[in-house]
Chains A and B, each alone.
Chain A
């Protein structure tokens, strides 16, 4: 399966889950699914991945089911009573989800701790964490960032899903650009910026950063579009929250099929 087809296929699955559940957080998952593909489909044994923006759980669930980490039949239980797949990831349910998240600002300290442990154990594992740009408002971001620099954690790779929208406004208007490359570079991070929906670019940027054993923790600022792949959702704050009715679901699926050249099967 080509990456383009996978990008489309996982998007239609995300839409399907949200349609089944009549739930929101659609735009957030469509914003970061490509980043997850770039990390999880090329992860080495021993590497860890933490989804810090836990509200993009459907993106995580769909790719983990694609990779065989979550049984397909369990996916049908999403958002229902007695599920192991609530709207934000649950603790201690799946090996590939090492930590439950949902409250923002937790993933980076966790991933930083894992990176520090890997250094103490002198192994070559990489600790990946995916954050939202709004999430970089959280104070723990800066506590962990300074620790990572001071401890030379070049085995830590943060990807910021920079779609420019947060819970109740544009990131620039809320607290300013707390995910600005200049800020992170000044702290001491090794920073690269790329198109967060272009898989080749994401993977090359990741490989380039990890090849630099320079003692600097790594950051990819992935420029993204909230709701990417569904034209009427793209760049719109309301698709952080809204569920889809039947008509909009059909339109959304058509939009994805058209954008990613996949057939209706």
Chain B
């Protein structure tokens, strides 16, 4: 997704003369093209994330739009107060771009993972988190982020293509409504790839309705989702993020507030480091039950 991100940013740089890109000393073998297009509007702020975000708010206050780019955990956790006070309180168009959300950096270890980022950022005032699942909706998210011109976080993950039959919506992706659905699946961001892989040969795939969510917070339950829940009565939320403050928390709150009748509510989520060992992204997904095989097995239990 990083390569496609860079290409899209190059196009944005040509469209918006007020757009500045600040990196926290990262982007080797990915952002060289962006440098070429942006010239002095591409800034390496050094290994100094708090200053980068504070400066970005200062630049944005003069009428600029600013991307702050780093590995996801570095641009979320260390500079949280700058994001809250300088960016969000002042509604500044500063876009934190975090590469490798979730367990994306795999064997690099826990310092490089971001499995609480949405919980941390999405409650902040005026903030919109974009969690694109595919290359196609990443482009859509970036365009929406620039059009909205407010505080934003873009969590980048794997770069795969959108499955057939799905279209972009204002909450993510959805297929044509399925009146036969007996299970409503909501997947946050790129882990949706595992859901589609699990369903590919699944005997009950025709009775499962999948919604890909790529924006948080979720202030209201999209009507397509609530209609699906009304039909199926079962909800399975899948996210490479802890349950607290993530999609499962939001959906649970909204289904209760909307008095939706739910037979079964289940959450598959990032489990952290349950036995204190480390590995690839796929390894951590497996430990959390977010892998294709477990998702297929969990879905099977609904039938």
Contacts and interface: CB of A to CB of B under 8 A. Distances in A.
Contact of A143 (B20, B48, B58): B48
A237 B82 CA distance: 29
24 contacts: A91-B90, A92-B90, A100-B90, A106-B81, A106-B86, A108-B54, A109-B51, A109-B58, A109-B86, A110-B54, A110-B57, A112-B58, A113-B57, A114-B59, A116-B55, A118-B62, A121-B62, A139-B50, A140-B51, A140-B82, A143-B46, A143-B48, A144-B51, A144-B54
B54 A113 contact: yes
A114 B58 contact: yes
Given A99-B90, A101-B85, A120-B41, 9 more contacts: A99-B61, A106-B81, A109-B51, A109-B82, A111-B58, A115-B58, A116-B59, A118-B62, A143-B46
Given A106-B82, A106-B85, A109-B82, A114 B62 contact: yes
A109 B60 CA distance: 12
Highest count of chain A CB atoms <10 Å: which of B41, B59, B62, B91: B62
Nearest to A118: B62
B37 interface: no
Nearest to A100: B89
Contacts of B48: 143-144, 146-147
B27 to A, nearest CB: 17
Given A106-B54, A120-B40, A147-B46, A99 B62 contact: no
A92 B86 CA distance: 11
A185 interface: no
B43 interface: yes
A114 to B, nearest CB: 4
- For the complex of A and B, 10 pairs with smallest distance between CB atoms: A113-B58, A109-B54, A113-B55, A143-B51, A143-B48, A110-B58, A91-B89, A117-B62, A117-B59, A114-B58
Interface in A112-131: 112-118, 120-121, 127
Interface of B: 20, 40-41, 43, 45-46, 48, 50-51, 53-62, 64, 81-82, 85-86, 89-91
Contacts of A150: 46
A50 B20 CA distance: 22
A147 B90 contact: no
B26 to A, nearest CB: 16
A92 B61 CA distance: 11
Contacts of B91: 92
A250 interface: no
Contacts, number: 96
A109 B55 contact: yes
Interface SS of A by simple majority: helix
Given A100-B89, A120-B40, A114 B61 contact: yes
A139 to B, nearest CB: 7
Contact of A140 (B20, B50, B58): B50
A91 B45 CA distance: 25
B290 to A, nearest CB: 36
Nearest to B40: A120
Nearest to B44: A150
Contacts of B86: 99, 106, 109-110
Contacts of B57: 99, 109-110, 113
A103 B50 contact: no
Contacts of B85: 100-103, 106
A188 interface: no
